[in-house]
Structure 1
C-alpha cells in the first residue's frame, strides 16, 4: 500500500513538474456545490441558491414554450387550464410545481401543472430538452428513482401516477392512486413507491360534505413493476410526508390539521398526534380559507432523522422538533405563507418557501432560528436540494 501511494505521489509530482517546464496549465477540478432549486410557480422560473453560502446563481425560464403549448391545446385542455388558473392558481397560471435533478446534476425536470406536462432542461444553458403531457389535465408532485432511470409524476385529474423515461419523457408505466394524487416518495432502498392523495381540494370544505372529497389514501407500489401492493385509507388528505428508512414509521401532515401525525405503516394506525400552535391571525380563519385545505404544508427532516422541520402555513412559522420525543425545540417566525420545507444536502438547514412574500427562509436545525431570508420569484412553491457540478452554475 505504501509503495503504491509512493508511485501515485511520484506520478503527480512528475505531471506538475512537466507542466511547469513546458508552460502547460494544470487543470484543477472544481468541487461540486450544494444547491437549492426554488420553483417560482406563477413566474414559471427556477432560482438556484447555494445551500452553504446562500448566494444566488442563475434563474432558469421553464416555460420558454408557453405560447406554443397553449396554441396546441384542444378545447378541453384549454378549459382545464382556465379552471386551474381560477382555483388552485388563485388567478394565476401554475407554471412550475415540482423539480427533480438527474444524478449527474446536469439535467432538471419540472412539472408544469397548467400545461399538464413535464419538461426537461439543461441546467447550464437553460435549454429545453423535451416535454410530454401526462394523463388527464394537470401534473403535480414528482419523484426520481435512485438510479435516475424513472421519473414519477402525479397526474392529478386522472387519479394516476405516471412513470416517465427521464431521457425522453415517454410514459413507460403508471399505477392508480387515490383522488388527487399528490406527493410521491421512494423508500430509502429505492424498492418501494409511496404516493399520498389529498382528495378533491376544490370540493366544498363543510364537514358534512366531507365524503365528496373522495378517496384519501396512501398508495404503496413496487418500484420495478408499478404494481400496487397496498392501499391505506385516511380520514383526511395526506399532505407532505416522510417515511423513515425502517419503512414502518411515517410522519405526515393532514388536511386542516395544525401539526402532523406519526403513523405505523405496519400496524396501519396513528401512534401519535402533534398539535402545534396557531397564530392570532390563524385562529380567526375559517376552514374554507385554508389554502387548498392546508393548515400546515411542508415537512422535512435532517439527514440523521433527529429533527423535524414543519411549515406552519397559515401561521407563518417553522416548527423545529426533536425526534423521537417529538418535543418542540423552537417556533421560528418566517415569511408569509410558508408552503414547503426542504433540507439542504448537508443536513444543516431547512429551507422554507414563503409563497406570499416571495422569499425563502433559511432555518438552522441545530440552533433553531432564521439565519437568512432570500428574495426569489413570484410565488415560490417547491424547494429541492441537490449536489451539482460547479460548471453548470452561473453567477
Structure 2
C-alpha cells in the first residue's frame, strides 16, 4: 500500500487518464506500455465513477492511466510478489484480477447476485485472497494458484473489511448491510474470526463492547502480524485485537465535535492505515473531513488534521518508507497526501498536496509489478 512523491494533476479523457506532455512519459493507452521499468513501483487507486483502476508511477510522478474493471470498484490489494492485483466490484458483484506486468485484467471471478463485495485481503504468503460479501453475509476464500473460489465462510452479519495478519487467521468486521439498511446496528458479535487453512473454515466471534453499538468498519494488521486494529465508526473508537490470544482492548476514543448531529453511517472513523514500524496509526474520519493520528506505543492521539471541507475521506495508507500518508478524498474526487513527519511531530496541522480529478473510492495499494 504505498507511496507517491510529489503531486500530479490528471484529466479523465476518453476512458484513459492523460496528463500534460510536460509531465507525462510516453504511454500507449491501448497496450498500457510505457517507457518505465516493468519492475517499477506503482500505486493503484480504485476509481469509482469510471469503473476503473487508476495507476500511478511514483518515480516519475507523472504517468497515470486507467484499467477498466467491474462496476463501482471499491478496494484493491496486491499479491506479496507483486505479480497480481485483486479488485472488488460491488456493482457487478465480482472480482477483477489484474496482471501487474501488463496492467490488464486477466480474469473476472463472479460471486453471484446481491453479493456486494466490498473489501479484499490476501494472506501473507499470497496463497489465498479473501473478499467480504456484505449482502450474502459471507467471506469468500479464493485459491490464488488457480484463481478460483475454494470455499465460502458464512458469518452472522454483513462483513465489510478483512485482515489476515497470519496465514492461519482471518478477521472480518461485521457492519451489517448498507443496501438493506442494517449497517451499524447493535449486535453482540462484532468481529468474525476463522482459520482459512481448515478444510471447512467456520467462524467464531469476538465482541468489542457488549454495551455499545460499535459499528466496526475498517481493519488493518500490524506489520509484524501480532495484532489487528479496528475502526469502530458508530462508537467513534479504535480497538485492538491481540492475535495470539484474541484479547480485545480499546485504543482510543476520537472526540466528536458535534455529538448530537453526527450521523452514524458512514460515521467515523471508517478506515485505518498503519506505519511500517507499527508505531503510528491513522484513523480516517469520513463525516468530520479529517484524519486522526494515534501513537500506538502510548495509545494517545497526537492530533486531528483536516483533509478539507467536503472532502469525505475514505481510504488511507502509509508509504513503505514511512514518509508519506495517502488519503482518498472521495467527496472532492482527489487523492491527498501528507508528510508523516508533520503528522507526528506534535505540532498542530500538516501541509497537504493533492492529485486532483481522481474519482477515488476506498482502495489504495502499493505494488511492485513483476518482470
TM range (shorter): 0.7 to 0.9
CA shift in 2, pair 1:170/1:379, >3 Å: same
Task: Go from structure 1 to structure 2 and tell me whether the alpha carbon gap of 1:147 and 1:264 turns closer, same or farther (over 3 Å shift).
Answer: closer
TM-score for the superposition, normalised by structure 1: 0.72
Structure 2 unpaired stretches of 5+: 1-35, 344-349
In structure 2, the partner of 1:349 is 324
Q: Does 1:232 align with 2:206?
A: yes
Residues of 2 paired with 1:102 and 1:268: CA distance? Answer: 26
Higher gyration radius (CA): 1
Partner of 2:364: 383
* Counterpart among 141, 150, 153 of residue 131 in structure 2: 153
User: What's the counterpart of residue 302 of structure 1?
Assistant: 275
1:144-187 deviations in whole A, cap 9, x for unaligned? 12232222111211111111233544211121123111111112
Residue in structure 1 matched with residue 162 of structure 2 by the alignment: 184
Q: Hey, what's the Cα distance between the residues in 2 that align with 1:338 and 1:206?
A: 19
Q: TM-score, normalised by structure 2?
A: 0.76
Higher helix share: 1
The answer for the alignment partner of 2:119 in structure 1 is 141
Residues 108 and 123 of structure 1 are in contact (CA less than 8 Å); yes or no, is this contact kept in structure 2? yes
CA change 1:148–1:270 in 2 (3 A) is closer
Distance 1:386 1:60 in 2: 15
* Partner of residue 18, structure 2: none
Structure 1 stretch 314-323 or stretch 351-360: which is displaced more? 314-323
Q: Any idea what SS the aligned residue of 1:121 has?
A: strand
User: In the superposition, relative to structure 1, how do residues 184 and 250 fare at CA in structure 2: closer, same or farther (>3 Å)?
Assistant: closer
Provide the C-alpha distance between the structure 2 equivalents of 1:126 and 1:268, rounded to a whole number of angstroms.
Answer: 38
Query: Gaps spanning 5+ residues in structure 1: where?
Result: 1-28, 64-93
Distance 1:362 1:52 in 2: 16
CA–CA distance in structure 1, aligned partners of residues 214 and 179 of structure 2: 14
Q: Which has the higher contact order (CA 8 A, sep 6+)?
A: 2
Measured after TM superposition, the shift of residue 337 of structure 1 is: 0.5
In structure 2, distance between residues paired with 1:371 and 1:32: 29
Paired with 2:285 and 2:124, the residues of 1 have a C-alpha distance of 30
1:86 aligned partner: none
Q: Which residue of 2 aligns with 1:74?
A: none
Alpha-carbon shift at residue 241 of structure 1 (Å): 2.0
**Does the aligned pair in 2 maintain the 1:175–1:227 contact within 8 Å?**
yes
What secondary structure does 1:141 align onto? strand
State whether structure 2 residue 42 is matched by structure 1 residue 35: yes
Matched, 1:197 2:204: no
Which of the residues 48, 51, 64 maps onto 1:44? 51
Q: Please say if 1:109 is aligned against 2:86.
A: yes
